[in-house]
Amino acid sequence: MGLMDFQGRVAIVTGAGRGMGRSHALMLASRGARVVVNDIPSPDEDINPADQVVAEIRAAGGVAVADLHSVITNADDIVATAIDHFGALDIVVCNAGVMSSTSLADADPEDWRRVFDIHFRGTVDVCRAAWPHLIASGTGRIVTTCSSGMLGNAGLTSYGSAKGATFSFSRSLAIEGQPHGITVNTILPSAWTRITGTIDDPAIAETLQKYFQPDHVAALVTWLCHQDTKITNEAFQVSGGRAGRLVMAAYPTVRTSDSTPENWRVHETELMQDGDLTPLRSTAEMFGNELADADPAIRHAMSDERGGLGLKPTTGREG
């Protein structure tokens, strides 16, 4: 089996100076992609890690350029680096992120927002800046980075909520990208990086270091980024050479003929029991299920194959 061919393709990888981002950049370059290695300098470092990764790529015969702009203040400049050096953009891997573990009550508001912005706003702004170029590509590819942190973890309200927002953003963006040949997928990775290296439990740290090398994640990401991979609007748990699809799902609904607070108290046990799960792949699918549960005849109206609701663009107002 030959290597997947990325000749002629141009990729941006954010947060690519270390950890998973570095592995993404190296693997894409090893298959022929021209890579913009994005990362920002750290005050305590003499050499920016992005420059080091570029040197690794070039030493192996690949093509890469470093970009030192912030994803939250200079997303346009990151994309401009790709266009100025390579004249096109086909692939965006949004990996940049930081960790802060503090309860909501104790978190400094500025630090809370900084963590959220790097993960979520950085992803949104880079994708927005890249979008017209990905349309021009005809086979644009976006991979965003979520986390099991979005499922809830004490001390990670900023990080987890940013990852949950990224999950939802990726799902909607995938639907918007379908008419343009753009695929959008997200990963929920586990790997041995600087972030997981802060875990105190020595047994967990040893297992991560032994089995969860970042290259395992990069392999799946590189596959998703290839122009022949048509999969879109999916989320993948990935770690240590294994991966699985993750979906939102709902337990069976409970119908009550008397919709009052008192009657829901009566139905509490029924509502909270487990049962068969129904995957929910889009807003339209969930909303369609709710409508059809009330009126099966409405099912014909929920036929938007792109997964949207057919809503007209509006500017909303609170209230």
Percentage of the chain exceeding pLDDT 90: 62
Structure tokens that stand for 312 in this block:
């007209």
What amino acid occupies position 115?
V
Structure tokens that stand for 35 in this block:
């890579």
C-alpha span between 302 and 52 (Å, rounded): 51
Choose, from 131, 159, 212, 236, the residue flagged as catalytic.
Answer: 159
What pLDDT digit, counting tens, does each position of 36-66 carry? Answer: 999 998 777 777 899 999 999 999 999 999 9
CA atoms within 13 A on the CB side of 72: 12
What is the three-class DSSP state of 165?
helix
What pLDDT digit, counting tens, does each position of 196-242 carry? Answer: 655 667 777 777 777 778 999 999 999 999 999 999 999 999 988 89
- The CATH H-level superfamily of 10-246 is NAD(P)-binding Rossmann-like Domain (3.40.50.720)
Lowest mean pLDDT among 16-30, 74-88, 207-221: 207-221
- B/e letters for 103-121, b = 16+ CB within 10 Å, e = fewer, are eeeebeeeebebbbbbbbb
Q: Which of 14, 184, 4, 166 is nearest to 96 (CA)?
A: 14
Ranges of each domain in the chain: 10-246, 249-301
Q: Which of 108, 91, 109, 119 is nearest to 195 (CA)?
A: 119
Residue 98's contacts (CB-CB under 8 Å, 6 or more residues apart) are: 114, 115, 118, 119
Phi-psi map region of 245: left, alpha, beta (phi>0 left; psi -120 to 50 alpha): beta
Region 7-28 average pLDDT: 96
Residue 22's contacts (CB-CB under 8 Å, 6 or more residues apart) are: 16, 49, 53, 214
38 membership: H or E segment, kind and range: strand 34-38
Cβ of 258: how many Cβ atoms within 10 Å? 9
Burial, 31: exposed, middle or buried (Cβ in 10 Å; 0-12, 13-18, 19+)?
middle
End-to-end distance of the chain based on CA atoms, in angstroms? 58
C-alpha span between 319 and 310 (Å, rounded): 23
Q: Is 159 noted as a catalytic residue in this protein? A: yes
C-alpha span between 129 and 125 (Å, rounded): 6
pLDDT at 146: 94
pLDDT at 299: 64
What pLDDT digit, counting tens, does each position of 262-291 carry? Answer: 899 999 999 999 999 988 887 888 887 777
